[in-house]
Amino acid sequence: MPVAEGAPLRFPWPRNLPLTAVFAAQGVMAGRGISTGIPASGIPVSGRRGGEARSIGSGGKGAEGLADSLRNTLDRVRGFLTWLPAEVFAALLLLLAAGLALALTRFCLRLLYRLAGRYGQSFLQVLVTRSQGPLCTFLVIMAVGTVLPAAPFPYATTLTLAQVLLCAFILALGWMLVTALNLGAEVYLRRFRLDVEDNLLARKHVTQVRILLRTGQTLLVIVTVAAALTSIPAVRQYGVSLFASAGAAGLVLGLAARPLLSNMLAGIQIAMTQPIRVEDAVVLEGEWGWIENITSTYVVVRLWDLRRLIVPLSYFIEKPFQNWTHESSDLIGSVFLRVDYTVPLDRMREKLKEIASASRFWDRKTCVLQVTDTPGNMVEVRILVSARGGGNTFDLRCEVREKMIAFLQAEYPEALPRQRTEITGNSLDGLLEQRRGTEEKVRRAA
């Protein structure tokens, strides 16, 4: 039923969600089949002039009583401020509602934070800290949406503010969902530790959660922004007309977004199949390092010299690479030494066992010395030792190499690589004659 001419504007008020007045202002009053009968000049706020005002829709009695009480209170306050323009009074009313909601929310959250600290609830403190921003924003929007129907704004201004509030409400809701997603992932990952030696299961779960978390964040942001934009009729119509009439533009946009989409799909595939995990030791592009971080589009590899190699996620799906810790962190390192034929191999094996047993990097599994080649006048000896993790394996290789060289220098210097030259009798006579000629030239020059 239309509202009487000159009567104050009332929104349809459901029982539990006052902010749905914003939806009513945008949808019902924008012309979706329900007439309001409101004059275009503005919205009078001077009480119930012109008879009993009627509500659009069928809100509950509790909501109607709240709206009537709020409107009557504002009428009495407005009677003391007749000198103040209606628009200024309405703006101050919205600012007051936002300020009160913000102050009350911050006070309650600070009180809850202190109580959680007093009783040792560290997680509750983190929850309060993380949710403070989105919760304050959400409640401020709710407070402004509650007061907006009673604010003496013109009809066009009320519609504009209602659309802005609806857009802000959707954005705040998306912010809260992203915060809840982050908190859920953080709580889940607290059960796993990466600083222990046997962390294969922990790395598996951390990798899955991080990739899926970033993918979920991206999807939530896209859906939230899209929902917020489509809540504005002008933007929604522009977007529909743009994509309906510009097929070439859509094709160009799809081609431009192909790298981003391929990396996002590769991230989901990596989360499921897990060719790499956080803290895996990998070799790619001729560089050796550890997987430090996996985002939704790229991977950060921490190299052995602390450089960072940034690699797109699709690289690990499309190209081969080495993963030294895919199934376990056990690795075998090799050390090559070139020595003389006279080297005592048994003594070298005994010394190798002694060096490995005294090393804190050896895992007590593999310790082998073998002759693998005889290049020229030397013997090539290969030493195999095992350790847990790429870093320990590299340190063990360096330690074994240094101590084996020191052992040969101290006890078997003749076993170090050397060049052998055989001098026959004629060659010796020629060398002696050459030496005499050189000495004679030196004497003449002196």
pLDDT, tens digit (0-9, with 9 covering 90-100), for 118-157: 877 777 777 888 888 888 888 888 888 877 877 777 878 8
Q: What's the rounded Cα separation, in Å, for the pair 202 and 313? A: 21
Per-residue pLDDT for 253 more than 60? no
What is the reported pLDDT for 46?
37
Per-residue pLDDT for 397 more than 90? yes
What is the reported pLDDT for 113?
83
Q: Is 128 exposed, middle or buried (0-12, 13-18, 19+ CB in 10 A)?
A: buried
Beta strand 281-284 pairing with 287-294: antiparallel
Q: Is 82 exposed, middle or buried (0-12, 13-18, 19+ CB in 10 A)?
A: exposed
Per-residue pLDDT for 184 more than 70? yes
Task: Tell me the CATH number for domain 198-327.
Answer: 2.30.30.60
Q: What's the rounded Cα separation, in Å, for the pair 28 and 12? A: 9
For 291, the 3-state DSSP assignment is: strand
Domain topology for 330-415: Alpha-Beta Plaits (3.30.70)
Span 291-316, average pLDDT = 88
* Helix count and strand count (H, E) for the chain: 13, 8
**Among the ranges given (8-22, 129-143, 324-338, 367-381), the one the predictor scored with the smallest mean pLDDT:** 8-22
Span 277-291, average pLDDT = 87
Q: Please check whether residue 365 is in contact with residue 386, taking contact to mean a CB–CB distance below 8 angstroms.
A: yes
Per-residue pLDDT for 8 more than 50? no
Per-residue pLDDT for 354 more than 90? yes
**Domain locations in the chain?**
20-190, 198-327, 330-415
More confident residue, 372 or 121: 372
End-to-end CA distance of the chain: 132
What confidence tens digit (pLDDT) does each residue in 236-249 have? Answer: 665 444 444 445 55
- Identify any residues that bridge with 333 across adjacent strands, giving them in sequence order: 385
Q: What's the rounded Cα separation, in Å, for the pair 49 and 429? A: 137
Residue 404 pLDDT class (50, 70, 90 cuts): very high
Span 392-405, average pLDDT = 92
To the nearest whole percent, how much of the chain has pLDDT over 90?
15
Residues 6+ apart with CB under 8 A from 42: 154, 155
Q: Please check whether residue 2 is in contact with residue 57, taking contact to mean a CB–CB distance below 8 angstroms.
A: no
Cut 0.85: pTM above it: no
Span 222-226, average pLDDT = 83
Per-residue pLDDT for 68 more than 60? yes
Give the pair of three-digit tokens for residue 132. 């403070």
More confident residue, 376 or 309: 309
What confidence tens digit (pLDDT) does each residue in 69-94 have? Answer: 666 666 666 665 666 677 777 778 78
Q: Please write down the long-range contacts of 199-202, taking CB distance under 8 Å and 24 or more positions apart.
A: 199/279, 200/277, 200/325, 200/327, 200/328, 200/329
**Among the ranges given (17-31, 42-56, 76-90, 351-365), the one the predictor scored with the smallest mean pLDDT:** 42-56
How far is the CA of 367 from the CAs of 16, 209, 371, 382, 404, in angstroms?
73, 38, 14, 11, 14
More confident residue, 187 or 351: 351
What is the reported pLDDT for 359?
92
Q: What is the largest CA-CA distance in the chain?
A: 140
Q: What's the rounded Cα separation, in Å, for the pair 247 and 274? A: 38
Q: What's the rounded Cα separation, in Å, for the pair 334 and 210? A: 35
Span 179-198, average pLDDT = 81
Per-residue pLDDT for 264 more than 70? yes
Which spans in 277-331 are helix H?
315-318
Q: Please check whether residue 77 is in contact with residue 96, taking contact to mean a CB–CB distance below 8 angstroms.
A: no
What confidence tens digit (pLDDT) does each residue in 29-52 have? Answer: 443 333 333 333 333 333 333 333
Strands (E) located in 313-427? 322-323, 330-339, 362-373, 379-388
- Rounded to 10 degrees, the C-alpha dihedral 264/268/274/278 comes to 60
